[in-house]
């Protein structure tokens, strides 16, 4: 009788249309060119321990897809290295993972399973180039470009702080009715971000402009974009898009809205630039790319250097 | 001033000839077709805690390359997801990793760094097809094929048991002089296997024959090869290639040589089939592919069903 791993792999193969899983390496039917990205999700590091396996699965995929979105790529293949403790519900995880893969056009083509006392997943995704498009890069910003943010900032960090306070699964009872909806949205935004693949593909069809996804905070990632482009930037505090009732929500969790919006991280929206006059299908303009290397924040009409707030994964 | 992660990434980029690292996803210069594989190395699961960072790096690469070898692929790109505890020597790890990458023709094209209290690495490797060759598969064995093993079996498992007994770094003082060399080789074989890339490439230029790498034990992996090929097999216990003084070494660690050779795992040699009469550049013939689905072991002239000894990563 086959043992646990072989049994799970057979079940997995049964879920897939034309399984590539089975040999030591997967041979990809499609040629390139490819954009490739890899990202971790580790229990207690990237999400709170005890999270529903189905939510972990969707979060893992979404966070990685956001990197492909930043390249303007069309999702193609996924490779999953999964190490989970005893008792982890693999079928619940994979059912949600494969459903999400199907939604986004990802074909699971390989993986590696292991036991570990701490849940760790590393997902490698490969994407193909948009027809007639280009690859997006964070190094393509030029002075004079308008600087855009694809969605709201800080809400994911507020969701993270909320979970720390109200537990998991979260209990929203302490919130008054209008704030309760905002709190729910923030938790959902933190746990299950929506990758901006359509926006990325649209940007890839433009002639010029830089793009990256905001994973470590708008401030830190903007510094990275400017360094890669050899340019500076000026952003307007008042222009930063915030979620509905975000400021009220921040009060209840004792957080500064601007600090969360600039340095909270895990927003998974695109930060991008476009020549003046071009209007993207999503996002809000938050500033301008400048000559020089300085990054400034304008607040109440006064400009000051923007510190590199945000996440450093090795500190 | 750049913080820890950005600093490390800049150092890394400086080590690479034409770095692909920098954007959210790496755009690969070479087209396909590609074979892709992903493998974990987790402290306390795949190697003992406290192992030298340089050895971890070489082991991680070698184990994954063995999967590419089993496909007959030529190594091309690597993507590394690395989560390590505070105090982990990233530069020592990456210096060894990049040196080994260079030796085998792997170009590090992307990655993800994180902190975790348990060292976990997941490496995704992409390989290209040998010119004029084919992709190898474990499903290509046919009745009448000779069954071969690319190198010795059980030595890696003996090394693993040795480390459990004599610690890490290992102390070989308790061994008499001739056994000491065998013990050293076993520990080295366990910690730093040699992927059989040349053998894989040679097999890929043959017209037919199955191949896979032995990671979970000859017995379990042979069952997998037979299932994938819809065939059976008969192997000769006496034909299994063993390392010099392997049986003496097994005595000192109270292990059964045949059990280790069949079910010890982590041998990272190729198990492959060839039509009668073809002679590979490495390995020893250990049996024959048969009709039916049964896998038999012949020992002292008597055949008996071979149980699926070996590793299951979820048990």
Pairwise CA distance, residues A294 & A125, whole Å: 34
Cβ contact B6–A312 (<8 Å): yes
- Which pLDDT score, from 0 to 100, does residue B172 have? 92
Task: Check if the beta carbon of residue A213 is closer than 8 Å to that of residue A72.
Answer: no
Cβ contact A27–B35 (<8 Å): yes
Q: Please identify which residue in the block is written with the tokens 């490779």.
A: A79
Question: Which residues of chain A does B113 touch, with a Cβ-Cβ cutoff of 8 Å?
Answer: 313-314
Task: Check if the beta carbon of residue B231 is closer than 8 Å to that of residue B295.
Answer: no
Please tell me if residue A120 touches chain B, with a CB cutoff of 8 Å: yes
Please state which of the four CATH numbers 3.40.50.970, 3.30.1330.10, 3.30.70.890, 3.40.1130.10 is assigned to the domain occupying B4-128. Answer: 3.30.1330.10
Reduced to 3 states (helix: H, G, I; strand: E, B; else coil), residue A290 is strand
Considering all CA atoms of chain B, what is the largest pairwise distance in Å, rounded to the nearest integer? 72
Nearest to B115 among A26, A70, A313 (CB): A313
- Which pLDDT score, from 0 to 100, does residue A3 have? 44
Domains of chain B by residue range: 4-128, 146-305
Pairwise CA distance, residues B127 & B112, whole Å: 20
- State CA B214 to chain mean position distance: 7
Cβ contact A25–B70 (<8 Å): yes
Sorted by sequence, the CB contacts under 8 Å of residue A144 that are 6+ apart come out as A275, A276, A288, A289
Percentage with pLDDT > 90 across chain A: 77
Q: Which of B7, B314, B315 to mutate to test the interface with A (most CBs of A within 10 A)?
A: B314
Q: Which CATH superfamily is domain A146-305 in?
A: PurM-like C-terminal domain (3.90.650.10)
C-alpha closest to that of A112 among B236, B161, B213, B225: B213
Nearest to B25 among A8, A70, A111 (CB): A70
Question: Which residues of chain A does B80 touch, with a Cβ-Cβ cutoff of 8 Å?
Answer: 38
Beta bridge partners of residue B236, listed in sequence order: B298
Measure the N-to-C terminal CA separation of chain B; round to a whole number of Å.
Answer: 47
Pairwise CA distance, residues A151 & A64, whole Å: 17
Pairwise CA distance, residues A104 & A194, whole Å: 11
C-alpha closest to that of B236 among B173, B177, B299: B299
Task: Check if the beta carbon of residue B145 is closer than 8 Å to that of residue B100.
Answer: no
The bridge status of strand B26-27 relative to strand A34-42 is antiparallel
- Which pLDDT score, from 0 to 100, does residue B18 have? 64
Give A120-147 as a DSSP string.
EEEEEEEEEPPTT-----TT---TT-EE
Which tokens sit at B126?
């992409």
C-alpha closest to that of A188 among A61, A66, A59: A59
C-alpha closest to that of B5 among A256, A74, A107, A40: A40
- Which pLDDT score, from 0 to 100, does residue A2 have? 34
**pLDDT mean over A91-106:** 95
Q: How do residues A23-82 score in pLDDT, each as one tens digit?
A: 778 888 767 789 999 998 999 988 988 899 999 999 999 999 999 999 999 999 999 999
Q: Which of A200, A216, A263, A314 to mutate to test the interface with B (most CBs of B within 10 A)?
A: A314
Which secondary-structure segment (H or E) carries B121? Answer: strand B120-128
Reduced to 3 states (helix: H, G, I; strand: E, B; else coil), residue B200 is helix
Task: Check if the beta carbon of residue A190 is closer than 8 Å to that of residue A215.
Answer: no
Q: Flag whether the pTM goes above 0.80.
A: yes
Chain A residues 10-49 with a CB less than 8 Å from chain B: 22-40, 42, 44-46
Please tell me if residue B89 touches chain A, with a CB cutoff of 8 Å: no
Please tell me if residue B193 touches chain A, with a CB cutoff of 8 Å: no
The angle, 0 to 180 degrees and rounded to 10, between the axes of the packed helices B4-15 and B90-104 is 30
Pairwise CA distance, residues A57 & A98, whole Å: 9
- Which pLDDT score, from 0 to 100, does residue B2 have? 34
Q: How do residues A174-204 score in pLDDT, each as one tens digit?
A: 898 889 999 999 999 999 999 999 999 999 9
DSSP, res A76: E
- In this structure, the number of other CB atoms found within 10 A of the CB of residue B254 comes to 8
Q: How far is A226 from chain B (nearest CA, A)?
A: 12
- Which pLDDT score, from 0 to 100, does residue B17 have? 65
Residues composing chain A: 315
Beta bridge partners of residue B147, listed in sequence order: B273, B287
Beta bridge partners of residue A303, listed in sequence order: A298
Cβ contact A25–B42 (<8 Å): no
- Which pLDDT score, from 0 to 100, does residue A97 have? 95
CA-nearest residue to B140 within chain A is A23
Residue A21 binned pLDDT confidence (cut-offs 50, 70, 90) = low
Cβ contact A8–B115 (<8 Å): no
Average pLDDT for runs of 10 along chain B of length 315: 61 70 73 87 90 96 96 94 93 95 93 89 94 94 98 97 91 90 96 97 97 95 96 97 97 94 96 97 98 96 89 56
Task: Check if the beta carbon of residue A305 is closer than 8 Å to that of residue A294.
Answer: yes
- Which pLDDT score, from 0 to 100, does residue B79 have? 93
Q: How far is A51 from chain B (nearest CA, A)?
A: 17
Which tokens sit at A119?
């849940």
Question: Which residues of chain B does A115 touch, with a Cβ-Cβ cutoff of 8 Å?
Answer: 45, 313-314
Question: Which residues of chain B does A30 touch, with a Cβ-Cβ cutoff of 8 Å?
Answer: 32
What strand order describes the sheet that includes B302-305?
A: B211-213, B270-274, B146-149, B284-290, B232-236, B295-299, B302-305
Please tell me if residue A196 touches chain B, with a CB cutoff of 8 Å: no
């Amino acid at each position: 009788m086959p043992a646990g791993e072989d049994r799970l792999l057979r079940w997995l193969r049964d879920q897939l249309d034309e399984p590539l899983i089975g040999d030591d390496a997967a041979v990809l039917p499609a040629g390139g060119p490819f954009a490739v990205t890899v990202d971790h999700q580790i229990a207690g590091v990237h999400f709170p321990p005890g999270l529903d396996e189905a939510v972990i699965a969707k979060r893992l995929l979404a966070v990685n897809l956001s990197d492909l979105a930043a390249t303007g790529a069309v999702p193609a293949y996924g490779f999953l290295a999964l190490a989970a403790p005893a008792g982890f519900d693999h079928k619940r995880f994979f059912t949600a993972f494969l459903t999400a893969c199907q939604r986004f056009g990802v074909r699971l083509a390989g993986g590696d399973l292991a036991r570990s006392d701490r849940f760790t997943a590393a997902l490698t995704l490969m994407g193909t180039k948009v027809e007639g498009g280009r690859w997006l890069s964070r190094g393509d910003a030029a002075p004079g470009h308008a600087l855009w943010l694809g969605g709201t900032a800080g809400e994911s960090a507020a969701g993270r702080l909320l979970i720390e306070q109200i537990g998991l699964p979260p209990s929203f009872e302490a919130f008054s009715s209008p704030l309760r909806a905002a709190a729910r949205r923030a938790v959902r935004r933190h746990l299950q971000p929506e990758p901006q693949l359509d926006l990325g593909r649209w940007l890839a069809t433009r002639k010029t402009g830089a793009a990256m996804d905001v994973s470590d905070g708008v401030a830190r990632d903007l510094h990275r974009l400017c360094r890669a482009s050899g340019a500076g930037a000026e952003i307007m505090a008042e222009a930063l898009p915030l979620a509905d009732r975000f400021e009220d929500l921040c009060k209840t969790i004792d957080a500064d809205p601007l600090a969360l919006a600039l340095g909270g991280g895990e927003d998974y929206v695109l930060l991008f630039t476009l020549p003046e006059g071009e209007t993207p299908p999503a996002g809000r303009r938050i500033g301008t790319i400048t000559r020089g290397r300085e990054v400034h924040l304008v607040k109440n009409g006064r400009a000051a250097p923007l510190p590199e707030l945000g996440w450093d994964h090795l500190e």
